[in-house]
Structure 1
Amino acid sequence: MTSRFGLLLRQWRQRAGLSQEALAQRAAVGIRTVRGLETGERTDPRMGTVRSLADALELTGDERAELFGAAGRSEPVVEVATRQFDPLAEAVAALKTAVEGRWRREEEQRQVHDPVPLPVRWTAARPELMDSWLNIGGEVELDGRLDQVVEVYRRVGSRRLVVLGGAGSGKTVLTSRFVLDLVAEQADPVPVIFSLGAWDPRRSGVRDWLAGQLERDHPFLAGPGPGGGTLASALVDAQRVLPVLDGFDEIAHGLHRAALVALNTTTLPLLLTSRVDEYADAVAGTDVLTSAAAVVLAELSPQDVAEYLPRTTRRAGAWDAVLAEVAAGGPLADVLSTPLMVALARRIHSDTPDHPPEELLEFDTADALERHLLGSFVPAVYEERADAQRWLGYLADHLTRLGTHDLAWWQLGTSMRRRAAVVGLGVGVAVGGADLLVEGLLIGAVNLRLALFGVLIALVTGVVFGLAHRRVAPLLPVRTRLRLRGRFGPHVWSRSLLGVCFGGLVGAGYGLVRALAWWTVNPAYELSAGVLVDSGVFAVVFGAGAGLVFGVVAAVEAPLDVRTAGSPFGLLRANRSAVLAMVAVGVPTFAVFVASGTGLLALVLVGPAGFDVAWSPVTGLALGLVGGIGGGLAYGLSLTAWGQWLVLARVWLPLTGRLPWALPAFLRDAYRRGVLRRAGAVYQFRHARLQEHLAAGYRRSR
Structure 2
Amino acid sequence: MTREFGALVRQWRGRAQLTQEQLAEKAKISVRTVRRLETGAVSNFRFDTVRMLADALDLTADEHRELMAAAGVVPALPGKPETRPDVSSPLAAVADRLAAVLEGRWQRELEQRGAHNPFPLPVRWQPVPGELADHWDNIRRVPPKHTASPLDLTGDLTEIADVYRRVPSGRLVVLGRAGAGKTILALRFVLDYLATRTSADPVPVIFSLASWDPAAGTLRDWLVNRLLRDHPDLVANAPGGSTQAAALVDAGRVLPVLDGFDEIPEVLRRAALLALNGTSLPMLLTSRPHEYRKAVAASDVLTWAAGIWIADLTPADLADYLRRSSRTSRWHPVLTELRDQPDAPASKNLIEVLSTPLMVVLARTIYDDAESDPADLLDTSRFPTSGDLEDHLLGNFVPTLYRTPAAGVRRDWTSDRAQRWLGNLARHLDRLGTPDLAWWQLGNSLSRPARVLGVVLASAIVTTLADWLIYLPGYVRDSGFASGFGLGLLDGLLLGPVVGLGFGLVYTLMIFGGVVFEPARVRMRLFGWNGRTSVARTFAARSGAGLLGGFVVGFVHQLMATAGRGVLHGFPSPIGALIETTLTNMLVFGATFALAAAVAFGLTSVLEAPVDLDSATSPLAMLRTNRTTVLGRVLVLAPTFVLTIAFGGMLVAALLDGPLSWPLSYGLSAGALGGVTGALSYTFAFTAWGQWLLFARVWLPLSGKLPWAVTAFLDDAYRRGVLRQVGAVYQFRHARLQDHLSRARDTPLRTHATLREPRTSL
CA distance in 1, matches of 2:361, 2:733: 11
Q: Secondary structure at the match of 2:106?
A: helix
CA distance in 1, matches of 2:210, 2:365: 27
CA distance in 2, matches of 1:584, 1:83: 44
Matches within 5 A, 1:292-691: 292-321=305-334, 324-325=337-338, 327-328=342-343, 329-350=347-368, 352-362=369-379, 363-383=383-403, 384=405, 385=414, 386-417=416-447, 418-440=450-472, 447-472=485-510, 473-485=515-527, 486=529, 488-525=535-572, 528-602=579-653, 608-610=657-659, 615-691=662-738
How many residue pairs align between the two structures? 617
CA distance in 1, matches of 2:625, 2:400: 35
Contact 2:472–2:489 (CA under 8 A) maintained in structure 1: no
Moved more, 555-564 or 99-108: 555-564
Equivalent position amino acid for 1:560 in 2: V
| % identity of equivalent residues | 48
Matches within 5 A, 1:227-306: 227-306=240-319
CA distance in 2, matches of 1:306, 1:690: 25
Q: CA deviation at 1:488?
A: 3.6
User: Alignment partner for residue 131 of structure 2, among 128, 133, 158?
Assistant: 128
The reply on whether 1:182 has 2:212 as its aligned counterpart is: no
Q: CA deviation at 1:224?
A: 0.8
Contact 1:456–1:513 (CA under 8 A) maintained in structure 2: no
Equivalent position amino acid for 1:582 in 2: R
Deviations 1:506-558 (A, max 9, x none): 11222123223322222154653453233222111111110111111123322
Would the alpha carbon gap of residues 301 and 201 (structure 1) be closer, same or farther in structure 2, given more than 3 Å must change? same
Q: Secondary structure at the match of 1:343?
A: helix
Contact 2:319–2:335 (CA under 8 A) maintained in structure 1: no
Moved more, 151-160 or 382-391: 382-391
Contact 1:218–1:564 (CA under 8 A) maintained in structure 2: no
Q: Secondary structure at the match of 1:254?
A: helix
Correspondence for 1:14: none
Equivalent position amino acid for 1:154 in 2: R
Would the alpha carbon gap of residues 354 and 461 (structure 1) be closer, same or farther in structure 2, given more than 3 Å must change? farther
Equivalent position amino acid for 1:301 in 2: T
Deviations 1:362-385 (A, max 9, x none): 311111111111110110001252
Correspondence for 1:167: 178
Would the alpha carbon gap of residues 512 and 159 (structure 1) be closer, same or farther in structure 2, given more than 3 Å must change? same
Would the alpha carbon gap of residues 624 and 249 (structure 1) be closer, same or farther in structure 2, given more than 3 Å must change? same
Deviations 1:258-312 (A, max 9, x none): 1111111111111000011111111111110010001110001111111111222
Would the alpha carbon gap of residues 413 and 354 (structure 1) be closer, same or farther in structure 2, given more than 3 Å must change? farther
The reply on whether 1:146 has 2:157 as its aligned counterpart is: yes
CA distance in 2, matches of 1:452, 1:512: 18
Deviations 1:162-186 (A, max 9, x none): 0001000000110111011110111
Correspondence for 1:68: none
Q: CA deviation at 1:83?
A: 12
Q: Secondary structure at the match of 2:443?
A: coil
Q: Secondary structure at the match of 2:445?
A: coil
Q: CA deviation at 1:630?
A: 0.6
CA distance in 2, matches of 1:349, 1:432: 57
Unaligned runs of 5+ in 1: 1-46, 48-81
Contact 1:654–1:660 (CA under 8 A) maintained in structure 2: yes
Q: CA deviation at 1:620?
A: 1.3
CA distance in 2, matches of 1:162, 1:290: 10
Contact 1:322–1:361 (CA under 8 A) maintained in structure 2: no
Q: CA deviation at 1:323?
A: 5.2
CA distance in 2, matches of 1:314, 1:280: 43
Moved more, 144-153 or 677-686: 144-153
Equivalent position amino acid for 2:324 in 1: R
Q: CA deviation at 1:560?
A: 1.4
CA distance in 1, matches of 2:229, 2:206: 13
Equivalent position amino acid for 1:361 in 2: L
Q: CA deviation at 1:449?
A: 3.3
Equivalent position amino acid for 2:176 in 1: G
Q: CA deviation at 1:581?
A: 1.1
CA distance in 1, matches of 2:433, 2:420: 20
The reply on whether 1:93 has 2:96 as its aligned counterpart is: yes
RMSD over equivalenced CA pairs, Å: 2.2
Contact 1:515–1:534 (CA under 8 A) maintained in structure 2: no
Deviations 1:216-235 (A, max 9, x none): 10111111111111101111
Q: TM-score, normalised by structure 2?
A: 0.78
CA distance in 2, matches of 1:678, 1:441: 51
Correspondence for 1:24: none
Would the alpha carbon gap of residues 85 and 185 (structure 1) be closer, same or farther in structure 2, given more than 3 Å must change? closer
Equivalent position amino acid for 2:233 in 1: F
Q: CA deviation at 1:441?
A: 5.9
Equivalent position amino acid for 1:249 in 2: D
Q: Secondary structure at the match of 1:229?
A: coil
Moved more, 635-644 or 524-533: 524-533
Q: Secondary structure at the match of 1:541?
A: helix
Q: TM-score, normalised by structure 1?
A: 0.84
Correspondence for 1:27: none
Q: CA deviation at 1:388?
A: 0.6
Would the alpha carbon gap of residues 283 and 433 (structure 1) be closer, same or farther in structure 2, given more than 3 Å must change? same
Would the alpha carbon gap of residues 336 and 544 (structure 1) be closer, same or farther in structure 2, given more than 3 Å must change? same
Deviations 1:315-338 (A, max 9, x none): 224342355147444211111111
Equivalent position amino acid for 1:375 in 2: G
Q: Secondary structure at the match of 2:434?
A: coil
Contact 1:319–1:357 (CA under 8 A) maintained in structure 2: no
Contact 1:503–1:543 (CA under 8 A) maintained in structure 2: yes
Contact 2:333–2:375 (CA under 8 A) maintained in structure 1: no
CA distance in 2, matches of 1:99, 1:304: 31
Would the alpha carbon gap of residues 441 and 134 (structure 1) be closer, same or farther in structure 2, given more than 3 Å must change? farther
Equivalent position amino acid for 2:391 in 1: R
CA distance in 2, matches of 1:450, 1:516: 16
Moved more, 680-689 or 537-546: 537-546
Q: CA deviation at 1:148?
A: 0.9
CA distance in 2, matches of 1:424, 1:289: 50
Q: CA deviation at 1:562?
A: 1.4
